[in-house]
Structure 1
Amino acid sequence: MPSPKAKNPSRSGGSPVLGSSNGRYDFRQGSDPTTARLRCPESPTRRRALSSLLAIDLWLSKQLGVCACEDSSWGSVRPLMKLIEVSGHGIPWLAGTAYCLYKSDSAAGQEVMLNLFMGLLFDLVLVTIVKAVVRRRRPAHNRMDMFATFSVDRYSFPSGHATRAAMCGRFLLAHLVLAAPLRVLILLWVGLVGLSRVLLGRHNVTDVVFGFWMGYCQYNVVEMLWLSPQTLVILWNFF
């Protein structure tokens, strides 16, 4: 006669499997018999895929960091890359926009410059928050000799230069009347700013790619929260 315990595996301390017949998910008992844990057997595969993508990102970023120092393979181009780096820095953009806002003698020009200034502030705050939350270290081959850095700049994700370049590029193309060569020049500048971040070893490839996407979306927020001329008059009188 079979033992009564064989009819009830839960009494023998086993781990009964509950769930669908294809075994995608199962519930296993822990130390407390009244609790159950949902385990997804696909998670190790996803972790391996993410680890592989991260390894490719780190390897590719290291291979492209050809201007990380003077003795790198493209070390002679490093001064030019650093000049492009300064052109995408937040301080020159904020100072230049504030100056244009002060000197503008038309309501339309003041409106455009004010919204660009607010967009730059929004970009600065958002990038700072994301960097503080993610806390991804900069590439090991990077040399910390950047212009006007802050404590949060020791983190790499996302690239603030890339977010700023993407947002400002869309803004200028949408709100300034420019000839075709100047529009091409702006697009070229945006691409060079992102490329310089990887060539200088400042960021990994994914930092720049995500930064471009983030800056592209930031411009949409700026358009949604656009300050009208009436709001400009109110702010101008207040200050």
Structure 2
Amino acid sequence: MPGSRARSRARDRTDVLNRPEFQSLNQAPRREQGAGEGRGSSGPRRISVRQPSQQDDSAARGSRDSSEGPSAADGCQKDASRWPEQDCMQLNPSFRGIAINSLLAIDISLSKRLGVCAGTHGSRAPLRSMVTLLALSGHALTWLCGTLICLWRSNTLAGQEVLVNLLLALILDLMTVAGMQKLVKRKGPWDFPPGFLDYVAMDIYSFPAAHASRAVMVSKFLLTHLVLAVPLRILLYLWAFLVGVSRVLLGKHHLSDVGCGFALGFLHFSLVESVWLDSSTCQTLISIGTLRWAPLV
């Protein structure tokens, strides 16, 4: 008996699988272990031996996880749930999305190429001055002040009726465009900071182009309610178009902004024509504005 025990101990020492680095090979899978414990089987159960170094590493990891607290676990969960959504690539984009993105890219590229007066180059200084003056002719402050001066100097009821409706159309255009710009918040192609006159006219963002909308609305209004010769009518159409183009040349708006501004100007004109105020209503508004209105008792 002693001899057999000595031989078994020698065989265990020479067995390679009994070494510490191979102890994991002798462990049963977790499912088998759980099933064996649940069934209460009497079969041989292998005992896993963990080295001191492994125990120290696991203890250090446990203490580090416990010191970080639940915030680290929450952060890991948030990262795991967030990164796949951000890093995913849309392999099959729709035709509509491709078309819209392509049109936006073309719009931005052409707008930057046409912004020849966006800088302050010496060779383009005369052209820049002319374009700036043309854009100033379509500014809201210019038309509001001009309409008020003409209304103050007007002595006829028909002229006052036209000027009051024009003033209301200018206010409608100003408020509508400012609200849409505040809602969309699109920057210009060169992303220049707005100037003082832009803040006064609430023309801070790019979409839609306020100058283009105002120019088209005013030109249609004047062509409808004034008797003008053919050359003047052509010049008025040309002026409205050049005012919109000047904003692109100055790098303030995209081409799509100017196009939408033109369409919005036609819409404002149609709206003002549909709610046209008669002469008596205009006289009442003028009396209220000049503080000479006497309400009926």
Q: 2:233 aligns with which of 165, 177, 183?
A: 183
Q: Which runs of 5+ in 1 are unaligned?
A: 1-41
For 1:77 and 1:234, locate their aligned partners in 2 and report how far apart those are by CA, in whole Å. 46
Q: 1:161 aligns with which of 203, 211, 235?
A: 211
Query: 1:138 — aligned with what?
Result: 188
Query: 2:279 — aligned with what?
Result: 229
Q: Does 1:69 align with 2:119?
A: yes
For 1:158 and 1:74, locate their aligned partners in 2 and report how far apart those are by CA, in whole Å. 27
CA contact (8 A) 2:180 2:208 kept: yes
**Deviating more after overlay: 131-140 vs 73-82:** 73-82
For 2:147 and 2:263, locate their aligned partners in 1 and report how far apart those are by CA, in whole Å. 23
CA contact (8 A) 1:161 1:193 kept: yes
Query: 1:238 — aligned with what?
Result: 288
Q: Does 1:95 align with 2:145?
A: yes
CA contact (8 A) 1:161 1:194 kept: yes
- Coordinate RMSD, CA, aligned: 2.0
Matches within 5 A, 1:1-239: 44-71=94-121, 74-140=124-190, 143-144=192-193, 146=195, 148-150=197-199, 152-239=202-289
What SS is found at the alignment partner of 1:55?
A: helix
C-alpha spacing 1:107/1:43, structure 2 compared with 1 (3 Å) = farther
CA contact (8 A) 1:69 1:143 kept: no
CA shift digits 1:66-121 (9 cap, x unpaired): 11112287454000000011100000100000111111110000000000000000
CA contact (8 A) 1:169 1:187 kept: yes
CA contact (8 A) 2:194 2:204 kept: no
C-alpha spacing 1:135/1:71, structure 2 compared with 1 (3 Å) = same
The structure number with the bigger radius of gyration is 2
**Deviating more after overlay: 71-80 vs 173-182:** 71-80
What is the letter of the counterpart of residue 109 of structure 1? G
C-alpha spacing 1:222/1:43, structure 2 compared with 1 (3 Å) = farther
For 2:247 and 2:133, locate their aligned partners in 1 and report how far apart those are by CA, in whole Å. 12
For 2:265 and 2:123, locate their aligned partners in 1 and report how far apart those are by CA, in whole Å. 31
Normalising by structure 1, report the TM-score.
0.77
What is the letter of the counterpart of residue 182 of structure 1? L
Q: How many residues align?
A: 198
Higher helix proportion (structure 1 or 2): 2
Normalising by structure 2, report the TM-score.
0.63
CA contact (8 A) 1:130 1:157 kept: yes
C-alpha spacing 1:80/1:192, structure 2 compared with 1 (3 Å) = same
C-alpha spacing 1:225/1:84, structure 2 compared with 1 (3 Å) = same
| Identical aligned residues as a percent | 45
